[in-house]
Structure 1
Amino acid sequence: MTDTPGLVELEAGALHAAIAPAVGGSLASLRARLPDGRWLDWLRPAVPRGLADRHPLAMASFPLLPFCGPMRHGRASFEGREIRFPPNHPAEDSPHPLHGIGWQQAWQVADAQRQAARLVLTVPATAAWPWRFSAVQRYQLSEQQLRVSIAVTNEDEAAMPAGIGHHPCFPHIAGTRLRTAAAGMWTTDHEALPVDVEVNEAVRRLREGALLADLHLDNGFTGWEREALVEWAGDEEGPPRSLLIEAAPPLDFFMLHSPRGYDHFCLAPVSQCGDALNLAPRWGADAIGGTRLEPGATLEAHFTLTPRWR
């Protein structure tokens, strides 16, 4: 993927990251060069077809803003303004739009250096999202880790609801394990939308360290301790290895997409649960997350990906 047209390439020691500004400002890959010259992928890498088609779901990770997860039928209201968001799933005929606006927009490169890049986005108010806002992403690569920062600023004259996050996808090979601690899991209805919180077997198994092949989940988790560890056994791709995911507030929630039989899974650090605006009247801010942004105010957060191999 090195030197692919349209990508911003970052390098630091053995680590290499590629960013696709035109494809939602997404991360296209995070990899390390092994001593024998092979590449070891820490995220599911974008392939040339996905980049050519500008398909965000084919990227290694993409930004979520100004809301995270699905919104039931694209309908919600906030302080007198109505949201009428159209379906936006690029691969399914779903009436429930998801992940906001940023992942399906081309971002502008404001600054790019060997180990860091800053991308910006400006979005006008529309019937889909009736507030003007701007956003910034910063990718910073060191020899030890990749730091991803995201910020949203309300450019409107009225307060705006806001949620932010990122959606990294990781390789799922035989024996892949995930350990992370949360207070509860959002259970879903027949349309895969959150309805209730449970402390169930999935929560307990993830806290102890779960074999991903034993899980079949597409759920949000609340009360996250903002840390997760992915462990892979040695295979033909490389040695035994792990990846530490650490998030800063307000990324107090995560979404886990781990369908059985897939070659990847996704763990998205987010600042709110799915369908947050519609769940707010029943559950309140502590349970669902999200932020009320005054005009001119900014919501920002970051997370890091730290690879370890031997």
Structure 2
Amino acid sequence: MSADHIESADDALITLRHGARRVILAPHIGGAIAAFFDAHADGERHWLRPATPDALAARNPLGMASFPLAPYCNRIRDARFTFDGALVDLSGDGNLFPHALHGNAWRLPWRVEALSEASARLTLSHAPSMEAAHHWPFAYEAAQDIALDGTSLTVTMSLRNLSDRRMPFGIGHHPYFPRTANTRVHARVSSMWHTTPDPLPTHIAPHPSVDALASPEGMSADAFDLDNNFAGWTRTASIAWPDEHRAVTLDADAPFDFMVIYAPAAFPSLLCVEPVSNVADWVNLDVDHTLKGGGVLEPGDATSVAFRLTPRTD
């Protein structure tokens, strides 16, 4: 996609610049990143899969380069869970998936609160009475501080509970990386959550992908059919294209203690390596917190967490 800055009141794309590096933001499409690339005289070198004109026209967050996950991430079984003795029913939130998915922030427009040549602050305020079609029964505000420097793209996510009661939360980001026959993923994890076909987690156990990820050459993106959460992540991963002599390193802060890899065999062009604070359906899993993650914000409390994407070329 082009790095042109489109001027429009309702659907402006914002271009951040630092040297040859570019980030294009689509605040109106779920506060998403639409592209992250280096601009060269002979073309653009993309570090994330860029949004297509069709995805932008359709305002489809799933077609963006990356989008925020808040106030929860991953799936919630049957869109229901019990918290502090009360049933939370998300089945009427307008989500077209069989289970609640990724919160509502990715399906709502964000506001540009601050902007400079190489950074932007995007914000979102949610009140349950205002957004019945994107139901979440807790008021909250979220922010993304997105900044370029000479080395990395840094995204700092913040979430504050505006309700008068405790709020469960999860937070993450959903980057799509270019996937080719030679793409490799390297990361150190301790185990993988196995799933039902939905997919929802059933149990945590070894899997051949754990050793493949840790191998010196990394795991081929085509090696396994994955849509899985990984536990015991050291909060760093690299996605490499050895034949193109380049790679990008993803590193994250706590509580991004879990990693999702989405590398479906049925869609060989898709690859996601996602920093997240919890595994899917964490609110319904009866396991130790260290295995599932997730958190709780008291009224008025906030949390903040960052991740970075650092490109490199050989």
Q: Distance in 1 between matches of 2:230 and 2:310?
A: 22
1:96 and 2:99 correspond: yes
Residue 80 of structure 1 and its aligned partner are, at CA, apart by: 3.0
Please say if residues 154 and 294 of structure 1, whose CA atoms lie closer than 8 Å, have aligned partners that are also in contact. yes
Residue in 2 aligned with 1:43? Answer: 48
Counterparts of 1:1-310 in structure 2 under 5 Å? 1-5=2-6, 6-34=12-40, 36-86=41-91, 94-125=97-128, 128-208=135-215, 209-234=218-243, 239-260=244-265, 261-279=267-285, 282-310=286-314
- Counterpart secondary structure, 1:51: helix
- Counterpart secondary structure, 1:67: coil
Paired residue type of 2:271: F
Paired residue type of 2:25: I
Residue 125 of structure 1 and its aligned partner are, at CA, apart by: 2.5
Residue 37 of structure 1 and its aligned partner are, at CA, apart by: 3.0
Structure 1 residues 48 and 4 mapped into 2: Cα distance closer, same or farther (>3 Å)?
farther
- Counterpart secondary structure, 1:308: strand
Taking every aligned residue pair, what percent have the same amino acid on both sides?
Answer: 36
Segments of structure 2 that go 5 or more residues without pairing to the other structure are: 7-11
Superposed CA deviations along residues 209-245 of structure 1, whole A, max 9, x for unmatched, are: 11112121000111110000111033xxxx4100010
CA RMSD across the alignment = 1.5
Please say if residues 262 and 270 of structure 2, whose CA atoms lie closer than 8 Å, have aligned partners that are also in contact. no
- Counterpart secondary structure, 1:61: coil
Q: Give TM-score scaled by structure 1 length.
A: 0.93
Segments of structure 1 that go 5 or more residues without pairing to the other structure are: none
Please say if residues 230 and 242 of structure 1, whose CA atoms lie closer than 8 Å, have aligned partners that are also in contact. yes
Residue 199 of structure 1 and its aligned partner are, at CA, apart by: 1.6
